Amino acid sequence: MTTYLDHAATTPMRVSAVEALTTELGRTGNASSLHAAGRSARRTVEESREQLAAALGARPSEVVLTGGGTEADNLAIKGLFWGRLAQDPARRRVLVSAVEHHAVLDPAFWLAAHGGAEIVLLPVDGDGRLDVDALAAELDGSGDQVALISVMWANNEVGTLQPLDDVVALARRHGIPVHADAVQAVGQVTVDFAASGLDALTVSGHKAGGPHGTGALLATRGLPLAPVLHGGGQERGVRSGTLDVPGARSFAVAVDEAVREQPALAPRLAALRDDLVRRVRAAVPDAVLRGPEPRPGTGSVPRLPANAHFTFPGCEGDSLLYLLDSAGVQCSTGSACQAGVPQPSHVLLAMGVDERAARGALRFSLGHTSTPADVDALVAALPDAVTRARAAGLASSGLPTGLRTGGPR
């Protein structure tokens, strides 16, 4: 039996979303066509847009459908930069937190290499939370040169919730638009676009139980957003391409259900997460929880309710992942692998974790199908996996296997 603890990577499709997708796949019609089939497809798209908007606290006209979260992030970063630059050539600075997903970091650095942007990585504290004072100092010094700010709603690796209210308040003083990647947040915490004060927000279908290849950028009307894709002028002229009618319908159904279930699901997942954290610490006493400490019973949610991220001293995360996988437990390292070489997580490094410790990271993430049996299976498999991973690490280092490599006893 397989235990799935990687819902932050993708979560199983909801039954309602599968049904919506398969129903629409049997229909024909291009939403840009004027005949009856096209008008029917357009009606499906617009009803889906309305459903998404209602679930996320937005106006239907603010929902720009995309092919996923990465495309939406690229549209936000590049589109806002180019749009703002056209208005004021002096605004070339792009401020992003140092713990953003690569879907934000990479387009930002691409703009630096190819578009004349100046990137500022905003620091975070040891829990991965944005240093608001550093942002304030940056804006006081060069606010009139900033094109945009991008700070994620919740971190995808360690689950830290970011102080977006503070970010938006500071940005407003300088007339700077703010974008947030909320891919991990939807369905776990309350996400209300209008109430947030944000100018742009990214959501993704497959993180909420919808299909892969679906997503949206919520963008306020009047936002200077230059297109990244050019063609037929669909989606307000900023995202050309034939609309994915089945995907839009299934995406909307999944997000709507995830948002409606969130008030009941989040406490259940938080209780499971707290049990997982407690039992992992008991099974591997020197395991280090990364990100904010959960506060059971306080009503405070310093991190996503479904996220538990640990580093295991003396272990390589990849080794642990494969050992757990062979035992039927699926999770994630949260680190990048470039050219076949495992790299420590940029998120952990930004939090001040040293490179050696960062290599021993594992992320366990829960979702709408998770049960206490999943935690039981992890705890049963973890001690042996850690022992074997440490032995493998010592063997590869050439040290005697009886020696410890550090960490508390």
Catalytic residue numbers? 337
Q: What's the Cα-to-Cα distance from 189 to each of 179, 278, 302, 353, rounded to whole Å?
A: 18, 22, 11, 27
Mean per-residue pLDDT over the chain, rounded: 93
Q: pLDDT-based confidence at 297, cuts 50/70/90?
A: low
Q: Which pLDDT band, with edges at 50, 70 and 90, does 337 fall under? A: low
| Residue 256 in this model has a pLDDT that exceeds 80 | yes
State the pLDDT at residue 374: 98
- pLDDT for res 19: 98
Q: Which of 120-134, 142-156, 258-272, 387-401 has the least mean pLDDT?
A: 387-401
Asked if the model's pLDDT at residue 335 lies above 70, the reply is no
Give me 339's structure tokens.
Answer: 């050219």
d(CA 342, CA 351): 19
Band of pLDDT at residue 301, cut at 50, 70 and 90: low
For the chain, the C-alpha Rg in angstroms (whole number) is 22
pLDDT digits (tens, 9 = 90+) for 21-75: 999 999 999 999 999 999 999 999 999 999 999 999 999 999 999 999 999 999 9
Residue 342 pLDDT greater than 90, yes or no: no
Q: Where does the pLDDT of residue 351 fall: very low under 50, low under 70, confident under 90, or very high at 90 and above?
A: very high
* Mean pLDDT on 320-327: 97
Q: What is the pLDDT of residue 326?
A: 97
Q: Average pLDDT for residues 310-314, to the nearest whole number?
A: 96
pLDDT of residue 392: 83
* pLDDT at res. 341: 60
Dump pLDDT digits (tens) for 358-383: 999 999 999 999 999 999 999 999 99
Give the 3-state DSSP-derived string for the chain, with helices as H, strands as E and coil as C: CCEECECCCCCCCCHHHHHHHHHHHCCCCCCCCCCHHHHHHHHHHHHHHHHHHHHHCCCHHHEEEECCHHHHHHHHHHHHHHHHHHHCCCCCEEEEECCCCHHHHHHHHHHHHHCCCEEEEECECCCCCECHHHHHHHHHHHHHHEEEEECCCECCCCCEECCHHHHHHHHHHHCCCEEEECCCCECCECCCHHHHCCCEEEEECCCCCCCCCCEEEEECCCCCCCCCECCCCCCCCCECCCCCHHHHHHHHHHHHHHHHHHHHHHHHHHHHHHHHHHHHHHHCCCCEEECCCCCCCCCCCCECCCEEEEECCCCCHHHHHHHHHHCCEECECCCCEECCEECCCHHHHHCCCCHHHHCCEEEEECCCCCCHHHHHHHHHHHHHHHHHHHHHHHHHHCCCCCCCCCCCC
pLDDT band with cut points at 50, 70 and 90 for residue 1: confident
pLDDT digits (tens, 9 = 90+) for 202-243: 999 999 999 999 999 999 999 999 999 999 999 999 999 999
Residue whose C-alpha is closest to residue 49's, from 26, 66, 35: 66
**Cα dihedral across residues 374, 377, 381, 386: positive or negative:** positive
pLDDT attached to residue 396: 59
Domains of the chain: 3-7+263-397 (3.90.1150.10), 15-258 (3.40.640.10)
Q: What is the mean pLDDT of residues 136-152?
A: 96
Instruction: Give pTM, 2 decimals.
Output: 0.93
| pLDDT for res 295 | 77
Inform me whether the pLDDT recorded for 402 exceeds 90: no
Q: What percent of the chain has pLDDT over 70?
A: 93
